[in-house]
Amino acid sequence: MSKKLNIGLFGFGIVGQGLYDITVSRNLNLEFKKIAIKDATKERTLPSHLFTTDKWEILNDPEINTIIELINDANAAYEIVTYALKNGKNVVSANKKMIALHLEELVQIQKENGTSLLYEGAVCGSIPIIRNLEEYYDNELLYAVSGIFNGSSNYILSKVFNENQSYNDALKKAQDLGFAETDPTLDVGGYDAKYKVVIAASHAYGIFANPDDILNIGIQNLQNSDLKYAREKGQKLKLVPVAKKQNDKEVSIYVLPKLVKKEDFLFNVENEYNGVSVQAAFADQQFFFGKGAGGHPTGAAVFSDISALRYDYRYEYKKALIEEKINFNNNEVIEVYLRYNDEDLINKLHFIDIEERFSSKDYHYVVGSIKLEDIFKAKNLILEDGAFIADTGNYIAS
Please report the DSSP string for 147-201 in residue order.
Answer: EE--HHHHHHHHHHHHH---HHHHHHHHHHTTSS-SSTHHHHTSHHHHHHHHHHH
For residues 119 and 81, is the Cβ–Cβ distance under 8 A?
no
Task: Work out the end-to-end distance of the chain between its first and last CA atoms, rounded to an integer number of angstroms.
Answer: 53
Active site residue 194: no
Residues facing residue 34 across a β-bridge: 8
Q: Which of 34, 194, 196, 258 is catalytic?
A: 196
For residues 123 and 222, is the Cβ–Cβ distance under 8 A?
no
253 in helix, strand or coil? strand
Query: Rounded to whole angstroms, how far apart are CA atoms 298 and 120?
Result: 9
Residues 6+ apart with CB under 8 A from 44: 12, 37, 51
Query: Rounded to whole angstroms, how far apart are CA atoms 274 and 218?
Result: 16
Please report the DSSP string for 282-317 in residue order.
Answer: TTEEEEEEEE-SSHHHHHHHHHHHHHHHTTT-----
Q: Which of 277, 275, 292, 266 is nearest to 126 (CA)?
A: 292
- Its sign, for the CA torsion 136, 139, 140, 143, is positive
Cα separations (Å) of 146 from 47, 114, 125? 43, 32, 15
Cα separations (Å) of 117 from 62, 157, 225? 18, 33, 45
Query: Rounded to whole angstroms, how far apart are CA atoms 125 and 202?
Result: 18
Q: Which residue numbers are catalytic?
A: 196
